[in-house]
Structure 1
Amino acid sequence: MIKNAFKITLFTIICNAMIAINAQETTSSKAIETKIDQIISSLTLEEKVAMCHAQSKFSSPGVERLGIPELWMSDGPHGVRGEINWDDWGYANWTNDSITAFPALTCLASTFNPKLAKDYGINVGEEARYRKKDVLLGPGVNIYRSPLNGRNFEYMGEDPFLASKMVVPYIQGVQQNGVAACVKHYALNNQEVWRDKINVVVSDRALHEIYLPAFKAAVEEGKVWSIMGSYNQFKGQHCCHNSVLLNDILKKDWNFDGVVITDWGGAHDTKQAALNGLDIEMGTGTDGLTSSKKNAYDYYYLANPFLKLIKNGEIKEDILNDKVRRILRLMFRTNMNPNRPLGRINNQEHLDIARKIAGEGIVLLKNEASFFPINATKKITIAVIGENATKPMTIGGGSSELKAKNEVSPLDGLKNRFKNATIIHAMGYASGPSAYGRVVPSSLDANKLKQEAIEAASKADIVLFFGGLNKNYLQDCEGGDRTEYKLPFGQDELLNEILKVNKNTGVVLVSGNAIEMPWISNVKAIMQTWYLGSVAGDAIADVISGDVNPSGKLPFSFPKKLSDNGAHSFGELSFPGDGVNEYYKEDILVGYRWHDTKKIKPLFAFGEGLSYTTFEISNLDSDKKAYSKDESIVISGNVSNKGNVDGAEVVQVYIGKLNSKVARAEKELKGFQKVAVKKGENASFKISIDAKSLSFYDETTADWNLEKGDYLIYIGNSSASISKKIKITIQ
């Protein structure tokens, strides 16, 4: 009777605590922390340890006797992954787990529109909530260092400021649904080859200036509730239990109060996992009940081995209690919050926002003789060439693959929009079926496909060549990096043959990475369309037809050749390493910082993107010429639309230090604003920049240092297109 009464009392405490919070307010209040203390004191040692590791592929246990629920997680960040089996990686083959596939995060970053990032987060969070997920494993903010990285399409580009500004509203949008975002992969996971063991050797300055800012913003500004560790090593420790990254920086310096979750199989040692900041261990190399009669999850590093070390006094119980406190805090924010909304899935609003993001993220790179837009009312013949015009792109790619309820192909999107045109399609090239971890060649006759494509092109008024990558293994895919910079499957050769029979050819690239373009001077137009999800074809047709005026800007540089990229310029020790260590020899000069500072002209620059109208940025000035460290620098000006189409321009503000006492990039992005302007009209803008953001990370003091002296402000519409320079002084 006493035992049952205690159980009822504790259950009442939990219920009261849940009622005390709402969907917007987290458990930081002293009252909730007190209730968590009460729950912890009532848990057995075994129950607490069990909460620190998986019980299935995508869940960790609660405590049934006290009404504490399980935590359920799902891969993201572009949508909620199809349901996976309890103990293995097979799909459960449910009939009710199809979802809306949103554009890849490279596309979101290309919008340069934080409001759309908030909309993205809200909508994908609603779908996760509807699917009864407590943690959405995304977004990813690893920095684009090399165009060969297989998972670049999941991230937000090469610039830490852009990634920071886009990730914060995404997190806020997801979490307003009572679903935790789980920002990944913390940190330095910038390649797939040897990702489970490579030790990244990087300066503290590059770490803090380039690779950590987006994670820091996620924690300090986004108030993210969970973080996923990365597979690789830093300073000789795996990042899922790394004392510098997790204990010192994340939990001490940034005051992160959430849960650190391993990447699946990212734990390697019980003591390090216990002492170095890990809270929940997932995916370690056991498969449910297959290894013994006992539950194999009990043999995770943070399971029975952890329990044994606590019982024999080698690890203090306080270490365990901190993990459980964080897990309970996460639960009060998610599955023990009675006020969180119910969620929605596969509705028109979600499709509309996916289409809006896709349309704003598409980047027009070349448009000779106004090749685009194509008039949809004309009776013309359009040859649509390429497997990428029909290949589903929501599947494949690894853990970010999706089970979309529908996916509109580019070919279908064009057919839906261009009713008056005769559209003929030829595959042209074939990649073979998607298979994770291996390349499966196509069984189709490559020469026959090529000849059919050339014949189709010869009969057409316009050729649209749909090329790029495709989320197959060694393309844009988890678990393997690209092996070459050029287009795969003979696309370069095919395109050259097509140009011999029809010079009126535009290229539509579907990829999450930069590519080499030896044919660039011979094609009329180039459009970068990313992986766009459920409404890919409709969004592409919107831009090709001119229904949507492109306003996307590149979130990373396109080098002319691979050796022009900073990481690759130093040889294999810099990328991908020697299998043991990898040395980030380009240091802070990542992406456009490298191209600008070393005067190596890229094929296309960071921030670059054309429009169907013409903009003029004018009346540019700063509010003052001298600032103290506690002031904000305000840049103002006007954007004029000189053309005949409504559009939007992204004003970009870069700042560089003149005569710095340390090596610096020529300039760094410090502010941007997307400005919508109707045809023939003007719009004003103001961009505010905290003077402290001009600091560099000083390794001699292990702190940020704002140099006094002169700075140069660069204002333009890409890193390579500057309208005006303004000199200011920090006093």
Structure 2
Amino acid sequence: MLKKTAIAGLFTLISAYSMAQNTTLPIYLDESKPVEQRVQDALSRMTLEEKVAMLHAQSKFSSPGVPRLGIPEFWTTDGPHGVRPEVMWDEWNQAGWTNDSVIAYPALTALSATWNKKMSWNYGKALGEEARYRKKDILLGPGVNIYRTPLNGRNFEYMGEDPYLTSKMVVPYIKGVQSNGVATSVKHYALNNQEMFRHTSNVIVDDRTLYEIYLPPFKAAVTEGNSWTIMGAYDMYKGQYASQNQYLLNDILKKEWGYKGVVVSDWGAVNNTEQAIHNGLDLEFGSWTNGLSAGTKNAYDNYYLAKPYLDLIKSGKVGTKELDDKVTRLLNLAYKTTMNTKKPFGNVASEEHKAVAKEIGEEGIVLLKNQGNVLPIDLNKAKRIAVIGENAIKIMTVGGGSSSLKVKYETLPLDGIKSRFGKQADVKFARGYVGDIGGEYNGVQSGQDLKDERSADILLKEAVDLAKNSDYVIFVGGLNKSDFQDSEGNDRKSYGLPYNQDNVIAALAKAHKNFAVVLVSGNAVAMPWIKDVPTVLQSWYLGSEAGNSIASILAGDANPSGKLPFTFPVKLEDNSAHQLGEYPGNKEELAAGKGKDQKNPINIKYNEGIFVGYRWHDTQKIKPLFSFGHGLSYTTFKFGKAKADKTTISQNDTITFTVNIKNTGKKAGAEVVQLYINDIKSSVPRPSKELKGFEKVFLNPDEEKEVSITIDKTALSFFDAEKHEWVAESGDFEALIGNSSDAIKTKVKFTLK
């Protein structure tokens, strides 16, 4: 960090000296000049070696500036829901700082489950302030890869299965972060939808599916959110790795979408100098695990976009056109971040940030089932509350991969429940099961000792006995951030809950009728006990305020309003990727041992095409466990009859749908009005419905509001791969309005000329 301070100081000194001497500032330092002119001036002053040096890392998380010209280095940081602790210059080991603890915000599945675009802006702004305070220039997030299978270990970092919902939620997040002069790096572009074989796979998908399902969130991030950087993925597509891919980076991102920002490689995703030069990569990170042990004085100088690139230029084998384009992009980024003198100072762990984290957690929690109105807990009847399950006491901010954090604090579910109910009720805890007793990732230690050598039978008996002697029973279970669960690097091994939890839940359901299951996870799970359990909450990974957010919902202080951002299938085989597609790869190739190295990648065919998630379930009429968009409330809502402002529209028209919604219950709450479109007769296969609009509306008891959603022909279009364009066919359509994909309340027919 001393280098960065020195460079910034040089920048200030040059400016101050010029003003004192009444001399003209160099154009690249003159803030009165247009950025384009300043960039070209800086570029003209740089040597060939200085240009090449800017294109690759100088440490684990930083890349060089140009010290001679006072252009600062770039500092990057993970991750999507909190600023990662500092590591050593060349190593993943912790740097041992005592001032790099932060607030952990809810993981992005929870943010997406709010279905609230304003909440996404608040999230981005708060997270960006913490990154800015920590002197970071590029935040490596958010993640917008599509939820294709519930086994993907990294789904908790993403925003669900629907490209429209993800697109609308990612844009305000980006704008919130970048309002602090900190760049986002939307990832992982593209088709990185599983962790198994992520370095050694070749994804095979048709262009229509690519454009309709997997690209829209990235396009929105670029064309609407103006994300200043994009991170390439690890996987191959069309035989080229994604971080050096002609079709993805040049043809689509930079040409079709007109992207002027910086393409950053994922750490260790580059493996070919000439492809990196010509195929759209701008900034290379992580090509070796450290900068010291590659047999040279400084391994960073031997990255693919370092000395090998310089040698090719000096030998005349390649020109400098691509080099100048890459450096131009990096200089533009510098004027938005490192050389932006107007950016705020940021702050960390403020009361405002804590409140944002808690509120997002409350709005993201999804009430899946509440038979008999077990929740909210009736304080007049709740004299003894049993809390059961390891996830009630397990720290979840440590682990999970690159998004692992070192936090100021983490309020655990048991602590949150005790804090909220302890004055009125006797809250007691039983372990119920023993799962992962570890608590360390990358040198950050949770400080917990969860070792418990009691047998499963003893743990179960203790839990059941406590349940029988309580007024309410809250089981807190689900998954965790361990390897092969919700974690980077590997996928889940099965769809079911681990650690004998199904047996524990089934026994507790028999022991008490006032029973609620709280699932902490970033993925769907099987629920063989669902018919016997009256109440289920999906609570996600909620960060520093997890326990307080959960307790607030249990008590009814906050009314649940979250909606699922992905489908919960009854069984894994109901998911289209597992029924039709290839996962984790081609079976014959798996048997032959392919996928073990980059020379022998395994093919993964997306045979399900566009029929991902609810598009598959609803079209094939496969009943899900819980549908996309589903989420209950402690109050009730009534939808009126939907109306359209016209019955026939032309290709250039818009059409507005309005519907009245009324809170018919006794508690203030929020409902999400969801608009789906059905193409009644199409020349190509289309889903029975596709989300094309949504609005979250807050209502007091007996309050009624009119909600309007406007669409144009883009909401009616499919991608014609042969023509390579979006097509809206004339004919009849239906607007379907409801509060989940399988709960349509009202319909309107209209015709496109």
TM bucket normalised to smaller: over 0.9
Residue 378 of structure 1: how far off its partner (Å):
4.2
Conserved? CA contact 1:97–1:403, under 8 Å: yes
Name the structure 1 match of 2:634: 612
1:626 and 2:675 aligned: no
1:224 and 2:227 aligned: yes
* Pair 1:575–1:492, CA change in 2 (3 A): farther
Partner AA of 1:121 in structure 2 = G
Name the structure 2 match of 1:25: none
Name the structure 1 match of 2:599: none
* Pair 1:11–1:207, CA change in 2 (3 A): farther
Partner AA of 1:20 in structure 2 = E
Question: What SS class does the counterpart of residue 95 from structure 2 fall into?
Answer: coil
1:687 and 2:709 aligned: yes
1:366-445 → structure 2 map (5 Å cutoff) = 366-376=369-379, 378-418=381-421, 419-432=423-436, 433-434=438-439, 444-445=453-454
Name the structure 2 match of 1:24: none
Residue 619 of structure 1: how far off its partner (Å):
3.2
1:523 and 2:513 aligned: no
Name the structure 1 match of 2:209: 206
From 63, 71, 86, give the equivalent of 1:83.
Answer: 86
* Pair 1:11–1:83, CA change in 2 (3 A): farther
Conserved? CA contact 1:14–1:35, under 8 Å: no
1:50 and 2:44 aligned: no
1:492 and 2:514 aligned: no
* Pair 1:565–1:10, CA change in 2 (3 A): farther
Q: Which runs of 4+ in 1 moved over 4 A?
A: 7-19, 434-437, 440-443, 571-577
Q: Distance in 2 between matches of 1:150 and 1:69?
A: 36
Q: Distance in 2 between matches of 1:576 and 1:678?
A: 53
Q: Distance in 2 between matches of 1:303 and 1:198?
A: 26
Residue 383 of structure 1: how far off its partner (Å):
1.0
Q: Distance in 1 between matches of 2:583 and 2:483?
A: 23
* Pair 1:131–1:436, CA change in 2 (3 A): closer
From 104, 108, 116, give the equivalent of 1:105.
Answer: 108
* Pair 1:504–1:286, CA change in 2 (3 A): closer
From 244, 247, 263, give the equivalent of 2:247.
Answer: 244
Q: Distance in 1 between matches of 2:226 and 2:39?
A: 20
1:598 and 2:598 aligned: no
Q: Distance in 1 between matches of 2:249 and 2:441?
A: 31
1:472 and 2:482 aligned: yes
Aligned residues: 716
Partner AA of 2:31 in structure 1 = A
Q: Distance in 2 between matches of 1:498 and 1:328?
A: 60
Partner AA of 1:189 in structure 2 = N
For residues 53-109 of structure 1, give each alpha carbon's deviation from its aligned partner in whole angstroms, at most 9, with x where no partner exists: 000000000111111101000001101011111111111121000001100100110
For residues 384-412 of structure 1, give each alpha carbon's deviation from its aligned partner in whole angstroms, at most 9, with x where no partner exists: 11000010111110001111101100101
1:503-514 → structure 2 map (5 Å cutoff) = 503-514=513-524
Conserved? CA contact 1:654–1:669, under 8 Å: yes
Q: Distance in 2 between matches of 1:196 and 1:62?
A: 29
Residue 382 of structure 1: how far off its partner (Å):
1.1
* Pair 1:606–1:278, CA change in 2 (3 A): same
Conserved? CA contact 2:107–2:157, under 8 Å: yes
Conserved? CA contact 1:141–1:185, under 8 Å: yes
From 592, 602, 611, give the equivalent of 1:589.
Answer: 611
Out of 572-581 and 626-635, give the one that drifted further. 572-581
Residue 19 of structure 1: how far off its partner (Å):
5.8
Name the structure 1 match of 2:5: none
Q: Distance in 2 between matches of 1:229 and 1:443?
A: 42
For residues 661-709 of structure 1, give each alpha carbon's deviation from its aligned partner in whole angstroms, at most 9, with x where no partner exists: 0110111000000011100111111111122231110011111111111
Q: Distance in 2 between matches of 1:212 and 1:560?
A: 28
Name the structure 1 match of 2:466: 456
Conserved? CA contact 1:551–1:610, under 8 Å: yes
Residue 122 of structure 1: how far off its partner (Å):
0.5
* Pair 1:172–1:576, CA change in 2 (3 A): farther
Name the structure 1 match of 2:98: 95
Residue 34 of structure 1: how far off its partner (Å):
2.1
Name the structure 2 match of 1:654: 676
Out of 12-21 and 541-550, give the one that drifted further. 12-21
Residue 572 of structure 1: how far off its partner (Å):
4.3
Out of 414-423 and 239-248, give the one that drifted further. 414-423
Residue 375 of structure 1: how far off its partner (Å):
2.2
Residue 456 of structure 1: how far off its partner (Å):
1.8
TM-score, length basis structure 2: 0.93
Q: Distance in 1 between matches of 2:30 and 2:375?
A: 56
Conserved? CA contact 2:395–2:410, under 8 Å: yes
Question: What SS class does the counterpart of residue 85 from structure 1 fall into?
Answer: coil
1:544 and 2:544 aligned: no
Residue 443 of structure 1: how far off its partner (Å):
6.1
Out of 330-339 and 566-575, give the one that drifted further. 566-575
Question: What SS class does the counterpart of residue 619 from structure 1 fall into?
Answer: coil
Conserved? CA contact 1:134–1:334, under 8 Å: yes
* Pair 1:342–1:80, CA change in 2 (3 A): same
1:145 and 2:148 aligned: yes
From 250, 255, 258, give the equivalent of 2:258.
Answer: 255
Q: Distance in 1 between matches of 2:544 and 2:676?
A: 35
Residue 520 of structure 1: how far off its partner (Å):
0.2
* Pair 1:37–1:483, CA change in 2 (3 A): same
Out of 286-295 and 539-548, give the one that drifted further. 286-295
Q: Distance in 2 between matches of 1:400 and 1:635?
A: 40
Residue 449 of structure 1: how far off its partner (Å):
2.5
Q: Distance in 2 between matches of 1:102 and 1:14?
A: 43
Partner AA of 2:204 in structure 1 = V
For residues 571-623 of structure 1, give each alpha carbon's deviation from its aligned partner in whole angstroms, at most 9, with x where no partner exists: 64575774310000110000000001111110100000000001001031111
Question: What SS class does the counterpart of residue 150 from structure 1 fall into?
Answer: coil
Name the structure 2 match of 1:172: 175
Name the structure 2 match of 1:347: 350
Conserved? CA contact 1:186–1:230, under 8 Å: yes
Q: Distance in 1 between matches of 2:57 and 2:670?
A: 47
1:209-358 → structure 2 map (5 Å cutoff) = 209-358=212-361
What RMSD over aligned residues (CA atoms) do the two structures have, in Å? 2.0
* Pair 1:575–1:109, CA change in 2 (3 A): farther
Conserved? CA contact 1:19–1:338, under 8 Å: no
Question: What SS class does the counterpart of residue 657 from structure 2 fall into?
Answer: strand
Q: Distance in 1 between matches of 2:726 and 2:17?
A: 47
Conserved? CA contact 1:407–1:533, under 8 Å: yes
Q: Distance in 1 between matches of 2:543 and 2:455?
A: 28
Q: Distance in 2 between matches of 1:101 and 1:298?
A: 35
Structure 2: 5+ residue stretches without partners: 1-9, 19-23, 443-448, 596-601
Q: Distance in 2 between matches of 1:615 and 1:198?
A: 47
Name the structure 2 match of 1:710: 732
TM-score, length basis structure 1: 0.95
Q: Distance in 2 between matches of 1:632 and 1:118?
A: 27
Conserved? CA contact 1:84–1:92, under 8 Å: yes
